[in-house]
Structure 1
Amino acid sequence: MISTEAAALDAAELLAERFAADAVRADAEGRAPFEQIAAFRASGLLPALVPARLGGGGLDWHTVLRALRPIVRADAGLGHVIAYHFVNSWRLQLNENRHAVDDLYRGLVSNSWFWGGAGNPRDAGLELTPTPDGFTVSGRKFFATGAQLADRVTASGTRVDTGERLAIVIDAKSAGVLHHDDWSNIGQRLSASGSVSFTNVAVPHSHVLGPNEQDGELYRPFGSLSILAFQLVLNHLHVGIAEGALAEAASYARTTTRPWATSGVDRATDDPYIRQSIGELTAETRAADALTWSATNLFVDAASAGAELGDDERGRAAVEIAAAKVVTTRTALHVASTAFELMGARSTSGSAGMDRFWRNARTLTLHDPVVYKAQEVGDFALTGAFPTPSAYS
């Protein structure tokens, strides 16, 4: 069990080294990363965010996000699915059924459960049919990051009898769960973000967490924080992609790039264009990183308030996360594209694998339209209005 920041960072670095050594081949194959997730499970990091009183690591979001960053640099798809394990398991505590939440956390620790999600709000909702023991759930989710790899899946469904929306946990190995293994997008190939179907899958009362609403009478600021957690994690993934592309470009320039014939220098690292460009890209990435950590601090403060969280504190965190989303989106795309110019034409070869950074950035930054995040920041600047809590804000 990992229960200190130093141990968490060391374990993550070891995983990142292992993942980086195989990143180009794994990306080319694009298969769901069962072996890599087994390594993550064995590392001791899996229960890092579970409270110590329930047997977990008792670590905080700052530590977990710092530990994730080298993994994202090595392979953003793996970083994505591991980050979502933490968000999907952490979000349990936002629900009202405390007894069920504590039992699920104990199960996570004792059984080393990996967590995925099936909550894409743009898909049709899952249907919940009451039974004497709880419910059965049916329906399909087309983007279910990590569900294919998971032991447990967080989701929400609507009761067919009353229309009430409930947060639930589904055993991903149950009869009636079908993972379609159909993730074939150009990037984030190791994120296992394909679709999953549920056909009359049993959900016992012990896996029903309570109402699940982002607005209306049942809305609570604290209960809505899972959306901000996902958005915050995307910012860290964007920055990690930029950092990974920069590190690869710098290494390539030092070891492989040849100086241009008319540059007047003997080494590529002496070329003033390369020196200036990598300096500007580094500064841009560091600025995006700083804004992301500012957003992280506000999110952690909001989460620490618990049930006492108010709309203003939640709103300030939402604005900062949205501002970071605007900046990190542009940074990830710009750095992942411009890195090629520091390396030369040979960097476009398949063996170099540099295209994976841009493909990952292009795929991930479309998660939800960043122009709407810019609009939220603009509204706050103009009128002081906070983003309206929703499935994406």
Structure 2
Amino acid sequence: MSVQEHGTPPGDHGAAGDETGRRLEDLARRAAALRRELPAGAVESDAENTDTAFGMRRLWEEGLFAFCLPRRFGGVNDARPELHTEAFVKIILDIMAGDSSTGMNFVVQALSTMEVFKEGNTLPETTKRELARLILDEGVRLCASNSEAGAPGPVTARRVEGGIVVNGTKAFNTNSGGGGWANVGLALEGRKGRYHALLPLDQAGVTMKHDWDVMGQRGTHSQTIVYDEVFVPDGYHFTGNGIPPLYLSYVFLMHATIMLGPGLGAFDAALDYVRKMDRPSFPEFESATEDVLVRRRVGRCAVDLEAARAFLLQSARKIERCGPEGDTTELFVESFAVKAACIRAALTVTQEIFDLTGARSTANSYRFDRFWRNARTFATHDPTDAKEVWIGDWHLSGKEPPMAAMLRV
């Protein structure tokens, strides 16, 4: 099996029906083609520290923004993470391999879409229909504006005539670099529990700080956003209906795809480079393909990546079989393990590719170091050591991980 060929369309979709099956196959083929198209844009956005506008536009043009929308609006998975999970993970892995920043932006787009269009929240149907039109017809991007890490205090809202007014600061607003809409998590005065406001990022009172200046995942443009007396009319703010346990496992699988993507992209780039340069490590070998040291390193990288990918897809299939009402405790723990495995594989491969490609490949024109910088940056999102402690605790004593372990924003 070649790590390079991950774009194989999904096969039997069973109850999904022939039409949905054909659509999934078509989207998988499009994502596989984008895997070869996106790297050029990835190099540019990394070098200039700019949003992955090219990559996100191409995803929209190829119809991938529709995946998480309800079918009544032209979507595929009805905003339900348990539907077609394996097929979606394969699609994301191809995008991530092409450009991990575009892939991460797309994951945020997908998760935000599922939250906004989830059945049972209080967002009016008319608003959902309008947002679906903007996403499908205009390529509008969605930002999950949730993180308050390092912010001065929580984002709040108060009721006024005809709507609410939002104030506060959010950090790490991934996928906001191209404008679009934000789904802002907030505390509404006089009401307990999580509340949400949907607002366009070009609205008065919204200040995007353009302060994303880190070593990796630069194209995500995960900047700080300040909301200052931002009015949100009735019909565009809503209550959620809780976070189902299955969704948490799904989010960790999305994290795992974000981690594995740079490893897959680095492997693609290294193979292309070695084949074109065709320089063996020792003069006794006539070509790089005959060099046993080159072949061994390629094989070792392939094993690491394939093992992590297989683990990821296994968990995706379990989410599909589990369904929203199934027992998800083991899936929680397994999703931690999948993320840890993908982190380990990605960090190993993104470092070792230079032993394959040599000193000339360190030129800034290639920017092969971006793969390691991207992997290392997202790997700091939450501590892998802690995840492995909870995994070990589960296997030793059956103790479930604490809720604080589930998801950090």
- Measured against the shorter chain, the TM-score band is 0.7 to 0.9
> Take 2:233 and 2:250, find their aligned partners in 1: how far apart are those partners?
27
1:392 aligns with 2:380: no
Q: Check whether the contact 2:49–2:218 (CA below 8 A) recurs between aligned residues.
A: yes
Q: Which runs of 5+ in 2 are unaligned?
A: 1-18, 79-83
Q: Aligned match of 1:285 in 287, 290, 305?
A: 305
> Take 1:204 and 1:76, find their aligned partners in 2: how far apart are those partners?
35
Q: Check whether the contact 1:50–1:105 (CA below 8 A) recurs between aligned residues.
A: no
Closer, same or farther: CA 164–319 of 1 in aligned 2, 3 Å: closer
> Take 1:148 and 1:19, find their aligned partners in 2: how far apart are those partners?
17
Q: CA deviation at 1:168?
A: 3.0
**Matching residue of 2:106:** 82
1:336 aligns with 2:350: yes
In structure 2, give the amino acid aligned to 1:209: F
**Matching residue of 1:295:** 315
Q: Which moved more, 1:21-30 or 1:89-98?
A: 89-98
**Matching residue of 1:40:** 59
Match runs of 1:1-393 below 5 Å? 4-58=23-77, 60-94=84-118, 96-100=120-124, 102-112=125-135, 113-120=140-147, 122=149, 123=151, 124-162=153-191, 164-210=193-239, 222=244, 225-261=246-282, 264-302=284-322, 304-305=323-324, 309=325, 313-390=327-404, 392=407
Closer, same or farther: CA 342–243 of 1 in aligned 2, 3 Å: same
Show CA shifts across 1:131-176 (max 9, x none).
1223111111121101232422222111234454313323323211
> Take 1:168 and 1:141, find their aligned partners in 2: how far apart are those partners?
13
> Take 1:93 and 1:375, find their aligned partners in 2: how far apart are those partners?
35
> Take 1:301 and 1:134, find their aligned partners in 2: how far apart are those partners?
41
Q: Secondary structure at the match of 1:141?
A: strand
Q: Check whether the contact 1:85–1:115 (CA below 8 A) recurs between aligned residues.
A: yes
Q: Check whether the contact 2:354–2:361 (CA below 8 A) recurs between aligned residues.
A: yes
In structure 1, give the amino acid aligned to 2:290: D
TM-score (norm 1): 0.88
> Take 1:55 and 1:145, find their aligned partners in 2: how far apart are those partners?
25
> Take 2:126 and 2:212, find their aligned partners in 1: how far apart are those partners?
32
Q: Secondary structure at the match of 2:220?
A: coil
> Take 2:367 and 2:207, find their aligned partners in 1: how far apart are those partners?
32
> Take 1:328 and 1:363, find their aligned partners in 2: how far apart are those partners?
14
Q: CA deviation at 1:21?
A: 3.2
Q: Which moved more, 1:364-373 or 1:141-150?
A: 141-150
> Take 2:217 and 2:112, find their aligned partners in 1: how far apart are those partners?
18
Closer, same or farther: CA 230–195 of 1 in aligned 2, 3 Å: farther
> Take 2:334 and 2:128, find their aligned partners in 1: how far apart are those partners?
30
> Take 2:120 and 2:161, find their aligned partners in 1: how far apart are those partners?
21
Show CA shifts across 1:213-258 (max 9, x none).
xxxxxxx561x55543332112012222111111211222222152
Q: Check whether the contact 1:97–1:210 (CA below 8 A) recurs between aligned residues.
A: yes
Q: Secondary structure at the match of 1:146?
A: coil
Q: Check whether the contact 1:164–1:211 (CA below 8 A) recurs between aligned residues.
A: no
Q: Secondary structure at the match of 1:157?
A: strand
How many residue pairs get aligned? The number is 377
Closer, same or farther: CA 221–154 of 1 in aligned 2, 3 Å: closer
TM-score (norm 2): 0.85
Q: CA deviation at 1:78?
A: 0.8
Q: Which moved more, 1:161-170 or 1:28-37?
A: 161-170
> Once the two structures are aligned, what percentage of the paired residues are identical?
25
Q: Check whether the contact 1:298–1:316 (CA below 8 A) recurs between aligned residues.
A: no
Q: Check whether the contact 1:274–1:342 (CA below 8 A) recurs between aligned residues.
A: yes
Q: Secondary structure at the match of 1:46?
A: helix
Q: Which runs of 5+ in 1 are unaligned?
A: 213-219
> Take 2:348 and 2:191, find their aligned partners in 1: how far apart are those partners?
49
Coordinate RMSD, CA, aligned = 2.4
Closer, same or farther: CA 257–272 of 1 in aligned 2, 3 Å: same
Q: Which moved more, 1:321-330 or 1:22-31?
A: 22-31
Q: Secondary structure at the match of 1:149?
A: coil
Q: CA deviation at 1:12?
A: 2.1
Q: Secondary structure at the match of 1:22?
A: helix
